[in-house]
Structure 1
């Protein structure tokens, strides 16, 4: 028979077990902290529409025209700098694919391109050109512009949406969506129209 005061008290066992729990939890937390990886960087917001000479031309009939850009669209990545440093910085080369290109005229009507939705590539810290041109169908023009040579309806903006793939770290990458808008309000009309039919051409600079 165990007399009172001999052996291990039940409350002593419970108390000892309670002290052991935090020790185990602390030991298990060490490898978890060691496995922490570099967080994914945010999408860089430094891609801009580039300045360049643009020619938007086509043929019109019944005051409607198919207009195509006769030159590549400039993509400016100089605001990105070089972004070269440790292994978690972005790599200088990036790729993208054009998902949408929209021409908006001064009458407020917009037209989506049916061509030019193609892949391209660029370099951070440099100026490049998109590889494809765009064409817009059934664009409304002013049927009375043959009297003055200066149509009231003219190009206003070109909006291009791209999905860009940036590489960073050790083989990691992120995909970002960018919409760039070029101001085409400075393009001048050099059309030769009669009754809403003939050659249509707008030329000037975009930015």
Structure 2
């Protein structure tokens, strides 16, 4: 199943990141560019680095100048994340381009890649919840965290099933894909009035 394959790639990315656990470490993608695993690995690496950016920026003692710099990095990361989702959807559009769509086929509320994006974030939640459960100084919260870990595995099962069903429906022509570009106006120098005014 595609969801199992994707989740393993996400886990590989997360584990590799945490060998150094440094947002400034170099990125090396182990998969060839033509492989979908290359996009999945890159996507999760972006999510993993941003997860830690979000931790750092919540430090109440952070210097304002450092916080502003980090906010810019988070903005850039969000744009990279969106771009990767669209690349992954392009992969599926190309893969299923010759499928004969049934006359009564329906469209899904989200594309395959946006569902896969949620699976990538869920892989991070599971990893970090396990970290909290195993923390020696977290005895007061361990029981509550163990319950949350159990719920995330239920979510993983449901989300994985939904992703695989969607891809199967697209392959059979029961659903069809449409990709809507995100068009984030606040990053566009022509569409954001603040950026436009600085030109």
Shorter-chain TM range is under 0.3
Which has the larger share of strand?
Answer: 1
Q: Choose 1 or 2 for highest CA Rg.
A: 1
State the TM-score, normalized to the length of structure 2: 0.23
Whichever structure has more helix as a proportion of its residues is: 2
